[in-house]
């Protein structure tokens, strides 16, 4: 009989911390590998993916082929198409002719996978990780959140961190969130508060990316014509479309990831901010829908009571005790002019940031190698660079933008990254991956951006922690 997931004597090959789409992808691809003993833990009671942003009609910005497994193994049981087949929805999807599915449909697909994979354990919080040299493994303190708050110890030769991102609230607005008065909510909680927001006299949406656009459109459609009373503002210099040309999309390929990783640290740090339009712009269809809605409201004369202003920075914000409103102190970044905006509700579509790993990895701090800015170094196979005394590996998912570039949070690279991790752990091409993935050659130095395939023997020489 196999050991239970919480048996302290269990010596697993791999433990995953966090169960978002990326670790869910890894768990799905690991599932058929009978020689690999895995377990994944998440403190939430069940799988959930951005529930506050599942606005009606909002679509993924990647095709459905960017599911959890297809781009590494299209024959997998866990493909999106097999999810449709299990729900008897293949023919409706066939006739719908949709390459880009709705976010709610992607969330339902992920829940289907999560509910059927046996290696997933929700309601468990990983509190600490440390290296145990006596057992050549990592020890993890895990608290069960099922009422008794019991802490157990688990042990694994290798780890993968997929703790995801967290909502980012700009410093001037932090004191206003979660306090009584006019609602100031992050976009992550938009649907939870939508009725309250719609009841407000005047609304302000801060943030000019995709989430800000979708929320502005949703609010606009639900406000009466001529009495919209809504501001939409953000720091970018335009309501800019996301780069979606065919060659532009090749920045989200393994070829570009390998090229980026080989660049010097200072070059990588300068490059990432310049590529914002690759992943922080607005889908062209959403921009068109916003313009259509605004235009429709001019048909009988007049203009909608909606103000759309890019290039705006929120300097400070205060709550007006006399009126229970919020006063935003704004600055135009080009004009260097300032004004005040009084509003009855604020939605912060200000994005997400990688969740810090320092607390979780405090026990490994003596072994961690960091770059000149104090960030963990990550090698080309998504492993934290650790001291030689640590013979196990700690892989990361969606925590390596500084080393792997703008493709890090992209769903389209999930299956490839998961397959790369599993190939590294097993020491063989468990999932054969393409040597070339882009028509673009991103660098002049041979080998920086593509083509080299590691053999099992090569992996075994360089990776003493690989699973036999």
Domain locations along the chain: 11-164+355-462, 167-242+280-351
Structure tokens at 99: 């390459």
Phi-psi region of 398 (alpha: psi -120 to 50; beta: other; left: phi over 0): left
Indicate if 167-242+280-351 has the same CATH topology as 11-164+355-462: yes
CATH classification of 11-164+355-462 is 3.50.50.60, yes or no? Answer: yes
Nearest one of 334, 329, 15 to 173, comparing CA atoms: 329
Instruction: Give the pLDDT confidence score for residue 99 in this predicted structure.
Output: 95
| Nearest-angstrom CA–CA distance, 465 and 20 | 25
| Nearest-angstrom CA–CA distance, 143 and 238 | 47
Instruction: Give the pLDDT confidence score for residue 446 in this predicted structure.
Output: 61
CB-based contacts of 173, cutoff 8 Å, min separation 6 = 184, 206, 314, 317, 346, 348
| Nearest-angstrom CA–CA distance, 74 and 151 | 39
Whose structure tokens read 């309250």? 196
Instruction: Give the pLDDT confidence score for residue 7 in this predicted structure.
Output: 57
CATH classification of 167-242+280-351 is 3.50.50.60, yes or no? Answer: yes
Burial class (CB in 10 A: 0-12, 13-18, 19+), 460: middle
Ranges of the chain whose pLDDT falls below 70: 1-9, 446-468
Instruction: Give the pLDDT confidence score for residue 179 in this predicted structure.
Output: 81
Instruction: Give the pLDDT confidence score for residue 445 in this predicted structure.
Output: 76
Instruction: Give the pLDDT confidence score for residue 9 in this predicted structure.
Output: 55
Instruction: Give the pLDDT confidence score for residue 459 in this predicted structure.
Output: 44
H/E stretch holding 314: strand 312-320
Instruction: Give the pLDDT confidence score for residue 1 in this predicted structure.
Output: 32
pTM more than 0.85: yes
DSSP state of 299: T
The model's pLDDT over 156-182, given as tens digits with 9 standing for 90+, comes to: 999 999 999 999 999 999 999 888 888
């Amino acid at each position: 009989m196999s050991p239970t997931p919480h048996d302290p004597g269990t010596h697993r090959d791999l433990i995953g911390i966090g169960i978002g789409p990326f670790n869910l992808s890894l768990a799905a691809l690991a599932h058929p590998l009978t020689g690999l003993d895995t377990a994944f833990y998440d403190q939430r009671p069940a799988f959930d993916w951005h529930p506050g942003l599942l606005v009606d009609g909002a679509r993924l910005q990647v095709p459905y082929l960017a599911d959890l497994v297809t781009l590494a193994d299209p024959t997998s049981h866990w493909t999106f198409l097999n999810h449709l087949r299990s729900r008897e929805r293949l023919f409706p999807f066939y006739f719908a002719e949709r390459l880009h599915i709705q976010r709610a449909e992607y969330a339902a697909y992920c829940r289907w996978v999560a509910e059927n994979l046996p290696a997933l354990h929700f309601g468990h919080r990983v509190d600490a990780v440390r290296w145990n040299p006596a057992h050549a493994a990592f020890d993890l303190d895990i608290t069960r959140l099922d009422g008794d708050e019991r802490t157990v110890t688990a042990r694994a030769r290798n780890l993968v961190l997929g703790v995801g991102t967290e909502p980012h609230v700009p410093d001037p607005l932090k004191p206003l969130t979660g306090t009584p008065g006019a609602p100031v909510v992050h976009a992550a909680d938009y649907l939870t508060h939508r009725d309250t927001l719609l009841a407000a006299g005047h609304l302000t949406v801060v943030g000019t990316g995709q989430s800000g656009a979708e929320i502005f459109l949703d609010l606009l459609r639900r406000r009466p014509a001529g009495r919209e009373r809504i501001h939409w503002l953000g720091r970018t210099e335009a309501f800019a479309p996301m780069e979606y040309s065919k060659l532009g999309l090749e920045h989200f390929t393994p070829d570009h990831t390998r090229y980026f990783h080989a660049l010097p640290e200072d070059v990588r740090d300068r490059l990432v901010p310049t590529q914002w339009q690759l992943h922080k712009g607005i889908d062209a269809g959403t921009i068109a829908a916003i313009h259509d809605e605004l235009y429709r409201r001019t048909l009988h004369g007049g203009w909608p009571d909606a103000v759309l202003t890019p290039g705006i920075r929120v300097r400070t914000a205060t709550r007006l005790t006399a009126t229970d409103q919020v006063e935003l102190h704004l600055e135009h970044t080009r004009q260097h002019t300032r004004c005040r905006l009084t509003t009855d509700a604020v939605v912060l579509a200000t994005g997400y940031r990688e969740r810090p790993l320092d607390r979780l990895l405090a026990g490994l701090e003596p072994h961690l190698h960091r770059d000149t800015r104090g960030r963990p170094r990550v090698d080309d196979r998504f492993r934290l660079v650790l001291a030689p005394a640590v013979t196990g590996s700690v892989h990361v998912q969606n925590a390596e933008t500084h080393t792997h570039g703008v493709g890090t949070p992209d769903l389209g690279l999930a299956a490839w990254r998961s397959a790369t991790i599993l190939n590294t752990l097993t020491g063989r091409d468990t999932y054969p991956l393409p040597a070339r993935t882009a028509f673009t050659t991103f660098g002049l130095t041979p080998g920086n951006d593509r083509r080299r395939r590691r053999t099992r023997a090569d992996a075994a020489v360089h990776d003493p922690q690989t699973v036999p």
